[in-house]
Structure 1
């Protein structure tokens, strides 16, 4: 058999890869690193920023500088232009690059004093921020509707002994007018209907509307009212005055009706006590004649 000059090698050759290839000379140039581990005053910068393929070198350097600043440090164009020699125009362009790629955000917020300021936010991982904002959109199953907590019932209020329509209407008008004295006492229609019998009980006990209003609006807590109707219901029940004192009705004596008699002078009928014999006109004439 012809086996002296076989066409296939007796064993497979192993490919030599990397710098071990016999025909490749080792690289002696290029960048070399002489690193020392940082223990203080350092910032971690991701390669996605340091080696970003689309950002300019100025934008990469400015993004690194912003991430190294402490919280609350000024980061406006005027401050950065005073810090670096590139000038306001180039720094503004670099900030726009960082903003376009998600490394920078600018928000306008209102302070507690009412002033509107611009807040600069440096983001070290824009991809993670995008994942957090897109996560709710990926949920296909709708979330179950949140069950509203049951509203706590208002405290009970006193009831009048005789609740006429006029008394309840006066109580309703008094409650609706409370918001003119304190804007926090704006009541709903249901709360007003619940409190009206309590106010009517006060009015039934001869308490004036002004006195009821003072009792409900005096010494309100300065920190605010979570449930003004509950506070009013508590005051109506706890500060209910006693009934008005009983006043016996004084009966006037019946009028005295004198008997009819005829005047001795003009013979006209008139009523007068027994000793009188002349009417009023005749008595006047007699007095003038005398």
Structure 2
């Protein structure tokens, strides 16, 4: 209890996927939800940039648009001096992360403009090879085109072929097509027309009333380390003795009242002593010496001690010793006795065999049973 342990860090290390490395850094990755800046490894692990230049580049990249990043402005924000900041800016300018150019203002004035690029290598690539931005889906209803109905036009009087005129008289119900040419006469149909190739059906258009479904929402964020406002588990109750006798209550009360002589921080009230007395009586019931209890409660106190009663409750509960074992529990249990069957000598063949009583061996018993003679069976 005297040493503070970071239980949140212990839980976070238990949730790290895979086995933990035996040496080196261990990453606990907690996703950011706000106030974060994406930094590429080409900058964070740049082999030619100093740590000051990398840190200054991250600081500049995190600033909002239009923030002043001159040497004096950065020196007012950072702990580094103007010389170190100037050297770091020269490093970033040499590797393409920072660029300065002159901008002519109206009225024959010139101003220095500063541009910071998070990926200078991408500026050297052709724009055709640069990755295209990912389009954001927007639910817009798509109208369905309605084909216009063709209006029938009067056909001009032309002289048709005699064979076509005969076929038209034989089929009076047939109507001429609406898109027939006006100048050329109608050609005669081929007696053996070629079959037209089958065309694939056109894909159906989405109805205008149904919009494009939005993308699925991202999975909920589950932090590895609980926030400080997370509900804490209930505290275990104070230990209670099996029987609170008058002697135990009197000794526990005297021990708690005497704590202020050894540690002035433990000047307890009567209500606190009455509440803690059963827990101290449990220690005394388990044959704990009063000096041991006093030393356990008062040694290695945190500074400053703000809640002495809570500290006493925790130590009386968490450091409670087990009850002493009885005389029977300390007796070494006897080993089980192993019964060894002695050797016997067969009465017929003098062969040795194991049996609790003398008699004949197995072979001699089988021979005697076959002959019909009496057999002395070994029990």
Q: TM-score range by the shorter chain?
A: 0.3 to 0.5
Which structure shows the bigger proportion of residues in helix conformation?
1
Give me the TM-score of the superposition, normalised by structure 2: 0.28
The TM-score with structure 1 as length reference comes to 0.36
